[in-house]
Structure 1
Amino acid sequence: MLAIRPLAEPERLDVLVLPVRPIDPAAGGDASAELVPAAVTPPDGTTEEAAALVPAARLSGRAGEITTQLRPGLSPGRLVLLGVGDGGESSWRAAGAVLARSAVDETHITIALPAEVPPAVIRGLTEGLLLASYRFRLTDADGPPALGSVDLLVADPAAHEDTIATARTTAAMTRFARDLTNTPSSVKTPQWFADQVTTAAADLPGLRLTVRGPAELAAEGFGGILAVGGGSASGPRLLEMEWHPADARTHVVLIGKGITFDTGGISIKPVPAMKLMRKDMAGAAAVVAATLGAAALRLPVRVTTLTPLAENMVSGSAFRPGDVIRHYGGTTSETTNSDAEGRLVLADALTYAVRQLRPDLIVDLATLTGANAVALGKRTAALYSENDDLAADVLAAVEAAGEAAWRMPLHSDYVEYLGSEIADLYSAPTQGAGSVTAALYLREFTGDLRDRWLHLDMSAPSWADGDQAELSRGATGWGVRSLLRWLAAVD
C-alpha cells in the first residue's frame, strides 16, 4: 500500500504539489483562485511561479482540479497545482483521489500542506490517496503503474502521525473488504471467506472467532442459513467474531449478509443480473473489516459480528418456492421466491443476536434489494430504524466518512403484506415497496430490541462501474469507513 509520511523539510523534490483554493467573489478582483499558504516554504521561486500559473491556467480551485507544469533541469522537476475546494475533509479526500490517479507514473511526490492544518484535512487526503490507488487483479502479468510514496510537508509532523495511522487502518480495512468482495466465487466459498477472516484476525490480539459448519447449524436450529445454502456443494457457515476490550461500555452487534454467490436459486436470475453476484456478500465483508479495524484501532466498544455465509445455488437439494422455513428461535417463513434469500439468513442471525447476545445496539448491512437502487441510485444506501438517535448518529458517521445513506420509512400499513396463511411470515411480498417490506420482514426478528436496531440496504453502493473519486472500479467496501467512524463515537 502507498507509503505516506509527514515531514517538516523535504528530503527530495521530484514532484511538488501545491494546493489551490477558490477566492470568495465578494473579495473582489479578477482572480478566481489562489494558492493555499504553505506551512513549509517551498524552494526559492516556486511559490511565485505557481502563483503566476494559477490565473494563466484559469484555475477555479474546485476540489480535484489539477494541472501540471514541467520544469526541466530544475528542482522540483514537476509542479502540480491541486484544487482543494472549500478545504473540508471531503474536498481533500476528492483531491487526494485525483492526485493518486494522475500521479501513477511517479515514484514519489511531495505535498505542501497549509499551516494549522486540522486532522480532518490529513485524514481526508490520506484516505483519498490510499483508496483511489486500490486495484484488484488476478493475473501473473505486471500490474499498471502506481504512485509509490507521498511526503506531507507540515509544520509539526509528530502532531499528525496518529491521524495518518487511523486513516491508513481505515483504508486498509476498506481495501480488505474490497478484496473479499471482488474475489470470484469460484474461489470464494463460505469456508474460504471464514478462513480469510481467521487469518486476518490472527494478527490482532483480543479477537475471538467461532465458525459454525452445517452440523452445528443444524444442531442449533439455524434453518434459514441451512435452507439457502442447501443447494450448494459448498456448505454454509456462520462466522461469529468478537472484539471485547476491558473498557467497553457499549455492546454493538454487527450483522452482514454473506451470500458468496447468488444464482437466485430455483427462482433463477437472468444472466446479466447474475454476473456480478460475487458481490452479494459485501455486507459481510464490510462488518468483518470494520470489526478488524476496531481491534486494530483499539476502540473502546464491544463489537460482536455475525456473518451468515451461504451460496444460493440450483440443485436437487435447493429450497423451493413455497417451502416453509423454520428459523433459529422457531419463527417460520413461507417463501415463494428463492431469490429473496438474503433476508432468510439475516433472520437467523438477528434472532440469535437478540436471544443470545443481548446487545445494546444492532446494525445489519446487506446487499438486500434492487429496489434500493431504484429509489436512491447507485451511490446511496437505504437506512431503516425506529430509533431517531441511532439513525442520526449513523447518518452523521456516513456523511463524515464520505459515503451516503438516506433514511427511509418503516410504514406500519405495509406489515400486512408479510402475512402468510401457512406460516408466521411471508418472506417476499409482491405488492411493491421492496426495500421497505424487506426491512419490515427483518424487523420481525428483532424482538424486544427492535427500537435498538438499524438496517442498511446497501446493494447499489457496494459496487462501482468505474473509477469515481476515491472509489475504484469494482467493489467499493461501502460501510467500512462509516462503521469505523460510528464505532469510534459510540458512547
Structure 2
Amino acid sequence: MSKRPAQACPPAAKSARQSDLVSEMILDRPAILYTGDVALPKDAAVSSVFVVGQPAAMKAFVAAAPEFLKQELSNFVTVHDDASSATVSRPSQIVTMIKQTDLTGEDKFVKLVLINIPTEASRHNNPARPDAVAKALVKFPDFTAPGSRDVHVFALGNTARDAAVTGISVGRAAFRFNLSTKRGAPCEMPSPKITVGVWSAESGPASKELCKALGVVVDKMRMSATLTDMPTNFLNTTTYVSFMERLVGDLKALGRDVKMNVIQGNELEEQGFGGLWNVGKACTANPPALVVLSWNASNANPDDKSIVLVGKGIVYDTGGLALKSREGMSMMKRDMGGSAGLLGAFAAIVESDVKLGKPLYFVGCLAENSIGPDAFRMDDIITMYSGLTVEINNTDAEGRLVMADGAAYAAKHLNPEFLIDMATLTGASGIATGHFHAAIMANSEEVEKAAVEAGRKIGDMVHPLIFCPEFHRAELQSDVADLKNSVR
C-alpha cells in the first residue's frame, strides 16, 4: 500500500471527506516492517535504535548484535543480570547516544535505548511479558508522536514464540492517532517508519514466513486500535461503513473473494431489526447499520457451516435517555471496540489467506446511542429480529440489543458452526476480571479453554466467567414482554 503524504490538520468537513481521512490515516500509512535481519544498514537514516527483551535473551544477543552497539549492550547485560530483584519484577533501561559512521565516512549520532523486560510472570500471564514491553515503549515519543523518522527495534525472546510476542508488542506501542498542532502552523500526520528485527536465543533470526505473518497481524491490530481511538466526529456510522468499503476494496485487490452487504437506516426497521434500529434511530444524521462482510462464501452451498464474527459497533454511547454523567460518558467513542477488534481479525485472516475450509463472516452492528425526538425510551416494548419482544428498562443497556439482532441474523442466514461476539458490553467485566484480562463466556468448555490458552500465548489474555444462564433468566423476566433488557 502507498504511503500517505503529510497533510494539513483536517477541519470539520463533509462526511465524504471525513471518510477519506479515516481511510488515509489508517490504510495509507506505512506498515511496520518485520525482518529476521539483525544487521543495521549503514545507509539507513535511523534516528533511534531500541533493543527490547528479557535478560537471558539480551545476553545471548550480544554476539549477534550489530558492531556499533555491542559494547553498550554488553555493559548493560553485565549490570542487569537476571538474578537481580529489579530484573525479575520491573523493567530497567538506559538511554544514550552512540556514534556510527555512514557510507560516506561521516560520523552521525544515533539514540540507543536498551530496555530489560521483567521475568516475573504467573500462570495467568505470558512469560515474555508483552504488557511490560508495550508499557515501556509507549513512553517514548519515537513511537507515540507523529513525524517523519526511521526507528529500528530489536525484539528479542528466549524462544521463537517469545520473540514474536515481543515483536507484536512493539506494534501495540507504535503511533496510532494524533491530531496535535504546532502553534501558527498546520500540523502534519506522517507516521514514523518502524523496522522490527525479530531474534530469539533459541532459533536466532526469525523466518521470512513468521515475519510476513507478524506484519499482517500487527497491521490489522493497529487498524483496530486506531479505529477505536478515533473520535466520533471522524468515525461515525456513515464513515465507518465507508472505511469498510475501502478495506474490502483493498482485500479484493489481493485477489480475495470478499463481499459486503449493508442494511442501513429505515431498511433496518422494515426488515425487523428492532434492537439495532431503536438504539440508533435518534441519530438521524448518521443512521444505524448492519454491515455483513463475507469471505469465500460465493461458492458455498446453503447447508455449508460457517464461522461468524459479530461485533458491537456503538460509535458513541450517551446512555440515551438514561443519560450518562460527564465522567461516565467520557471515552464512549471506544464503545465500538468490539467491532473494530473483529474487523481486524477478519481482515488479518483474509489477507493471510488462512485455510479455514468454510466461509467466514463479519457482522458489524453499528449505531450511535444518542438522544433526540426519536430516541427510544424506558418502558418501550420493541420486537427483536429473533421475534422476541423486549421491555426497555434501561436505554444505557443498548449493546445487548444490537448484538442480539446481529447474532439472530447470523443464526437465521449464515448457518454458523462457530460464532464469536466481541463487545465493550459492561464496565462490570472490568471489575470481575480486571483491566488486563478480558471476560469470556462460552457454552463450550473446549472453546473456553482454547481461548484462554491462545490468549496467554499471544498476550491478549482472557479469563472465563461462569456460564450458567438457567440461574439468571428469571432476573430478565418481564410482566409485559418476553423479557426486559436489564436487571435494573
- TM-score surpassing 0.5? yes
Establish whether residue 178 from structure 1 lines up as the match of residue 225 from structure 2: yes
Identity of aligned residues (%): 25
Superposition pairs of residues 26-425 of structure 1, within 5 angstroms = 35-38=59-62, 40=64, 42-43=66-67, 47=70, 50-56=73-79, 60=84, 61-62=87-88, 64-72=91-99, 80-85=113-118, 91=128, 93=130, 97=134, 98-99=136-137, 101-102=139-140, 104=142, 107-109=150-152, 111=154, 118-139=159-180, 140-142=186-188, 146=192, 148-151=194-197, 160-204=207-251, 205-233=256-284, 234-244=286-296, 251-301=306-356, 302-411=359-468, 412-425=470-483
The whole-number CA distance in structure 1 between the counterparts of 2:227 and 2:139 is: 23
C-alpha change, 1:80 and 1:35, in structure 2 (3 Å) is farther
C-alpha change, 1:159 and 1:367, in structure 2 (3 Å) is closer
Is the CA contact 2:391–2:480 (under 8 Å) kept in the aligned structure 1?
Answer: yes
Q: Deviations over 1:37-57 (max 9, x none)?
A: 55636539x656644443446
SS of the counterpart of 1:203? Answer: helix
Unaligned runs of 5+ in 1: 24-32, 431-491
Superposition pairs of residues 439-478 of structure 1, within 5 angstroms = none
C-alpha change, 1:355 and 1:7, in structure 2 (3 Å) is same
Is the CA contact 1:211–1:239 (under 8 Å) kept in the aligned structure 2?
Answer: yes
Moved more, 149-158 or 390-399: 149-158
1:236 CA displacement = 1.0
Task: State the TM-score, normalizing by the size of structure 1.
Answer: 0.75
Q: Deviations over 1:15-66 (max 9, x none)?
A: 776677557xxxxxxxxx972255636539x656644443446774557432
* Number of positions where the alignment pairs a residue of Structure 1 with one of Structure 2: 418
C-alpha change, 1:56 and 1:183, in structure 2 (3 Å) is closer
Q: Which residue of 2 aligns with 1:436?
A: none
C-alpha change, 1:113 and 1:283, in structure 2 (3 Å) is closer
Unaligned runs of 5+ in 2: 1-30, 102-106, 144-148, 181-185
The whole-number CA distance in structure 1 between the counterparts of 2:66 and 2:374 is: 69
Is the CA contact 1:103–1:147 (under 8 Å) kept in the aligned structure 2?
Answer: no
The whole-number CA distance in structure 2 between the counterparts of 1:87 and 1:170 is: 26
Is the CA contact 1:222–1:348 (under 8 Å) kept in the aligned structure 2?
Answer: yes
Corresponding letter in the other structure for 2:278: A
Is the CA contact 2:217–2:348 (under 8 Å) kept in the aligned structure 1?
Answer: yes
The whole-number CA distance in structure 1 between the counterparts of 2:309 and 2:155 is: 40
Establish whether residue 5 from structure 1 lines up as the match of residue 42 from structure 2: no
Moved more, 288-297 or 213-222: 213-222
1:275 CA displacement = 2.1
Q: Deviations over 1:292-347 (max 9, x none)?
A: 11111111223211111111111121111011110113111111111111111111
Is the CA contact 2:296–2:360 (under 8 Å) kept in the aligned structure 1?
Answer: yes
Corresponding letter in the other structure for 1:215: N
Corresponding letter in the other structure for 1:240: V
C-alpha change, 1:387 and 1:43, in structure 2 (3 Å) is same
SS of the counterpart of 2:421? Answer: strand
Corresponding letter in the other structure for 1:329: S
Corresponding letter in the other structure for 2:165: G
Corresponding letter in the other structure for 1:333: V
Q: Deviations over 1:102-123 (max 9, x none)?
A: 4829734463968xx7542442
Is the CA contact 1:82–1:95 (under 8 Å) kept in the aligned structure 2?
Answer: no
The whole-number CA distance in structure 1 between the counterparts of 2:119 and 2:321 is: 52
Q: Which residue of 1 aligns with 2:104?
A: none
